[in-house]
Amino acid sequence: MTTRQNLIAMKKAAGQASSLFIKDIAQGLLLVSHNTLAVLGLGVVALVMTVTSQHELRHRIEDLTLGWLNDRLEARAEMEGNTNTLIAFNEPDAVTRATATDPKALPRQQAAVAQWLAKRYRVAPEPISRLVQEAWSSGQRAHLEPTLILAIIAIESSFNPFAQSPVGAQGLMQVLTRVHDDKYSAFGGTLAAFDPVTNVRVGVQVLKECIQRAGSVEEGLRYYVGAANIADDGGYAGRVLGEQEQLLLVAAGQRVPFNVTATAPASLRPAQDAPSSVNERIALLR
């Protein structure tokens, strides 16, 4: 083989080697590009899945937030509606209709009685204070002991201004409204029997008439309860006067348990030191 032929053979071999090298490079690049595309594809898929999941999560958060806001708006609208209703019935002077007085505004004697009665009969001290105040005022006008008036209220109704007996006696002092309707005419009619202050005032007038007619407190109580013409008043006078004895002690500044049942007073038992008249009992309060 000549030198020329050798050169031609070497050139041909070099061309084949170069072609193979380029082919290998092209295949490598193709493989790499395929892998890169695969990786990019996976990345795109992951990104889509992430965005989708976040989108759904965002929607859920938005739905929850929107629901909470709607609930708040409805609650606020309802509150404003209630407030508006209350404003529609706004009556700043309504407090004047309340039968109540601050116990601190009472004299010491009256305040002590009010607090004791409030505990004994489980009634708020403010309305009791107003009734104690009225008992003192009405008692002074009628020349009756205020503790006697309060004792009758306690026995008759336990300080329930809406009490009614089977025979129709009504209110704090259980006045028979149909019998004493004339007395209620000065207060606008018989429905005033359920106004605590009016009931006390009418009851005091009835009590005064009973005592004047009977001649004594004990007998007057029998008239008051409707037992004037029968032998036994069922212990009514004793219960009232027993309650009054405790109130007299409280008014005098003595400590009296509020949960102890009242017993018959000394005025119903022979005793020289027992105050037996209305005037003597009034003197104890002065």
The CATH number of the domain where 244 resides is what? 1.10.530.10
Based on the domain organization, do 209 and 127 belong to the same domain? yes
Q: What is the pLDDT of residue 279?
A: 36
* Token pair in block for residue 3: 């030198």
Q: What pLDDT tens digit does each residue of the chain (286 aa) get?
A: 566 665 566 666 556 656 655 666 556 555 545 555 444 554 544 454 554 556 677 677 777 777 777 777 777 766 665 556 666 678 888 888 899 999 999 999 999 999 999 999 999 999 999 999 999 999 999 999 999 999 999 999 999 999 999 999 999 999 999 999 999 999 999 999 999 999 999 999 999 999 999 999 999 999 999 887 787 888 999 999 999 999 999 999 999 998 888 776 655 654 444 333 333 333 333 3
Domain count, the chain: 2
Q: What is the pLDDT of residue 71?
A: 79
Q: Which domain holds residue 5?
A: 1-90
Distance CA(150)–CA(247), nearest Å, equals 8
State CA 113 to chain mean position distance.
Answer: 26
Structural domain ending residue among the three candidates 39, 60, 90: 90
Based on the domain organization, do 202 and 252 belong to the same domain? yes
- Examine residue 197 and state whether it is found in any structural domain, yes or no: yes
Q: What is the pLDDT of residue 42?
A: 47
Based on the domain organization, do 63 and 117 belong to the same domain? no
Based on the domain organization, do 82 and 178 belong to the same domain? no
pTM for the model:
0.65
Based on the domain organization, do 81 and 109 belong to the same domain? no
Structural domain ending residue among the three candidates 50, 72, 90: 90
The pairs formed by 177-182 with CB atoms below 8 angstroms and a separation of 24 or more are 180/206
Based on the domain organization, do 240 and 187 belong to the same domain? yes
Name the phi and psi angles at 164, rounded to 5. -145, 135
277 closest CA partner among 246, 241, 229: 241
The residues, any chain, with a CB within 8 Å of residue 98's CB and separated by 6 or more, are: 127
- Residue 129's SS3 state is helix
Based on the domain organization, do 278 and 150 belong to the same domain? yes
Distance CA(159)–CA(16), nearest Å, equals 125
Based on the domain organization, do 76 and 171 belong to the same domain? no
Based on the domain organization, do 118 and 256 belong to the same domain? yes
Q: What is the pLDDT of residue 79?
A: 63
Based on the domain organization, do 76 and 22 belong to the same domain? yes
Q: What is the pLDDT of residue 67?
A: 79
Structural domain ending residue among the three candidates 70, 90, 110: 90
Q: What is the pLDDT of residue 261?
A: 82
- Examine residue 95 and state whether it is found in any structural domain, yes or no: no
Q: What is the pLDDT of residue 266?
A: 56
The pairs formed by 123-130 with CB atoms below 8 angstroms and a separation of 24 or more are 123/159, 124/100, 126/100, 126/101, 126/102, 127/98, 127/99, 127/100, 127/159, 127/196, 128/159, 129/100, 129/101, 129/102, 129/103, 129/105, 130/99, 130/100, 130/101, 130/196, 130/197
